[in-house]
Amino acid sequence: MKAKKVFSFVFCFLFLSVIVLTAAPDDKFPDKRGIRENIHTLRLLRMTQALNLTEEQAAKIFPAINRIEKEKMEIHREIGLKVKELKLSLEKEDPEEQIENMIEDLKNLRNLLKSKDEEFENFMEENLTVVQRAKYILFSVDFFRALKEKVERARILQERLYKRR
């Protein structure tokens, strides 16, 4: 039970991290997809080391992670489009019914994202030992904390560069 809560925390943190990149304007991160793919690849490599995955485990886990991550990236893309659409509708003062439909679409997309996280959690529980699951929790917390810090540092540097211009 406690492990599920920790997994949920980790995935919420992952979700928020990805949202930062998804919500950022395209002019700030012109190659967001490449950035996400590089982060994903780095995560897989470090996860393999941290969890001491066997070749069999890696051969099973990597395709599943890749598939789920691609599906989640598509959902994040759809969320981004819906948010932009919602902003435009509010500026135009569209009818409330249309706005309500957009809100419902966003809720459904978030629920779909949650179901992908649950699918991933269940898959990892089935394919990792108890010790590896514990290591995965710690690895995820550390990885995403470090990623958040790096993104924050990059943001600060970017702000300094813009101020100098």
The pLDDT tens digits of the residues spanning 14-48 come to 444 444 444 444 445 556 668 878 888 899 999 99
At 2, the pLDDT band (50, 70, 90 cuts) reads low
Instruction: State the pTM of this model.
Output: 0.68
CA-to-CA distance for 128 and 155, rounded, in angstroms? 36
The pair of three-digit structure tokens given for residue 92, joined into one six-digit string: 């135009």
With a pLDDT cut of 90, the percent of the chain lying above it is: 61
Tens-digit pLDDT profile for residues 77-122: 999 999 999 998 888 877 888 889 999 999 999 999 999 999 999 9
One-letter amino acid of 114: K
The pLDDT value recorded for residue 96 is: 84
Asked if 9 and 17 touch (Cβ cutoff 8 Å), the reply is no
Q: Name the residue ranges covered by the structural domains of the chain.
A: 2-164
